[in-house]
Amino acid sequence: MGGAAALTARSLTERLKAEAYGLGFDAAGVARLGEPATRAAFEAWLAAGHQGSMAYLEGEGAALRRDSRLPHPGATHALVVAASYGGRAPAGPVARYARGDDYHVVLRERVRELHGWLEREVGRPVNARPYVDSGPILERDLAQRAGLGWVGKNTMLIVPGAGSHLFLASLFVDVALEEDAPFEADRCGTCTRCLDACPTGALPSPRVLDATRCISYLTIEHRGPIPPALREGVGGLLYGCDICNDVCPWTVKFAREAMAPEFAPRALFAESHDRDGTRALARSICMMDAADYAAAFKGSAIKRAKLWMLQRNACVVLGNVGTDEDLAVLEAMREHEHEVVREHAEWALTRLRRTIRAPV
């Protein structure tokens, strides 16, 4: 009986994974829910204050992340999947993952399709919940437990044959599935390219990310002024950062095309990869009003950042890569209604004038 049950679980799991691959996912694995292997590291990370102002990672959010059985009561296993968002596309001022439609929506629908398939296959309602970077889960830990890959020195999950330009999603279920062996190997070796390349020093040691220095955090999550000492390091990056992924040999070699057409760059980002394109994009964001912002980023993950935050970022970018043609826009931003934007415009003007040796 036990052998038959195990065979049934194996067969069901194999077919479920096949469905996932059929939907376009680049990797799929199963993990039993429980205490994460990285719980102690997570606690130490919080204690060091590396989460910055991301309060959702503290308190109850931290408590739920200490055991993956807690977020969705009754669930025992998780199907974990990875989806490429197009690591072969050129680097640019907007991180690749955010150039298309909101991945939360796109992938959640795909995972719900897997839920429906599973219910039809087992012939009963399945207590399940999809998670796409939106729940209190240590997702990379769960993915490693499901055998998808290992956590690299840049803290990103690296999947053999696919690199690290990947979204992670999972389906928590109350169905007994056959678990995959955890991915135990560390294939980073002695490489430290990601640590060496970070322009703001956000990776002080292997597998430790100080979010308070990370360009992605500073341009997306942070609701205050970007620390002056870090602004130059932001360079021409308006929203997010791909640097620690781009230099990883595994990603350079194995990055794939985007899983879904919805992840293709919107027209606003299609030609903004060089310096002039970056400047043009920054100027267009500076000139947006609320209606422009809502129209440009409808259905986009970029709405995670408010308009004033994007304009703050745009001022920093123009201060770093602008020319005398951008002075007028920055002058206008000195009159912005938000104090933080005004201060960043002043900083950018001072830096830009010094760079181009324009008269004060």
Neighbouring C-beta atoms of residue 353, cutoff 10 Å = 16
Contact of 73 with 128, CB cutoff 8 Å: no
Contact of 278 with 321, CB cutoff 8 Å: yes
Residue 133 is among the residues annotated as catalytic for this protein: yes
Q: How far apart, in whole angstroms, are the C-alpha atoms of residue 15 and residue 21?
A: 10
Closest by CA position to 98, among listed 86, 81, 110: 86
Neighbouring C-beta atoms of residue 300, cutoff 10 Å = 19
- Detail the DSSP E strand segments found in 58-141: 77-84, 128-131
Neighbouring C-beta atoms of residue 62, cutoff 10 Å = 15
Closest by CA position to 255, among listed 119, 100, 90, 136: 90
Q: How far apart, in whole angstroms, are the C-alpha atoms of residue 35 and residue 225?
A: 37
Contact of 212 with 114, CB cutoff 8 Å: no
Closest by CA position to 279, among listed 322, 226, 235: 322
Closest by CA position to 132, among listed 178, 171, 186: 171
Catalytic residue among 133, 141, 180, 324: 133
Active site residues: 133
